[in-house]
Structure 1
Amino acid sequence: MHGTGLGVASPSTVRYYLGDHCTRLGTTVGIDDAVRNVGPEGGTSTFQVIGGGRVLFDSEVVTRDAVRQADVDVTGVRVLDLVVGDAGDGGYNDRADWAGLTATC
């Protein structure tokens, strides 16, 4: 359980302007527990952190039973994209969380 974060549906992109003022991005990515009340279908996503035209973090496929930790070096990044994909099975029931999202700036 995380007290803060960003919840999105897949596919999605959230863009932040860092302006080359930050050095680290930390988060735990996963599928929101709310999908368990909807049904067994879907609930898979991919998470990527993209900065400066490069993939800085790639979670690969995350299911509703797994989470991934990310501690990303964002030094020199002006524009940062948080990208969620549907993991190839469509976006149904893909409530994706960037939990505990923090930036060191």
Structure 2
Amino acid sequence: MEIRKALYLVLTIGLIIAITLYSTGLILRLTLIEWRVYETLFFVGTIVLIFTPVAMLILSLVLFIKNREIYNTAVVIVLLLLIAIGIIIGITLRTKGL
């Protein structure tokens, strides 16, 4: 599979899943008063939306390694490390209450 098509597919599927979760949550919010499952759908939709680019980076890393594209592999590794550092800093600051 061509790299662009694979990345396009991952981004499209992630976006469709997130939109579906948001839409379902909105419909439930407008129709159900007592049942609060819509909050979970909004949360999961947000998580899917946030991690879709990460999934794209992981897929591109695998494809670049497979195609022996060293420069692109290094760039993706740096991006994934920056994302990991950001997540670690965010979790650390949140647990310390800052």
TM-score range, shorter chain: under 0.3
Q: TM-score, normalised by structure 1?
A: 0.23
Please tell me whether Structure 1 or Structure 2 has the larger radius of gyration of its CA atoms.
2
Q: Which protein is richer in strand relative to its size?
A: 1
Q: Which protein is richer in helix relative to its size?
A: 2
Which structure has the higher relative contact order (CA within 8 Å, separation 6+)? 1
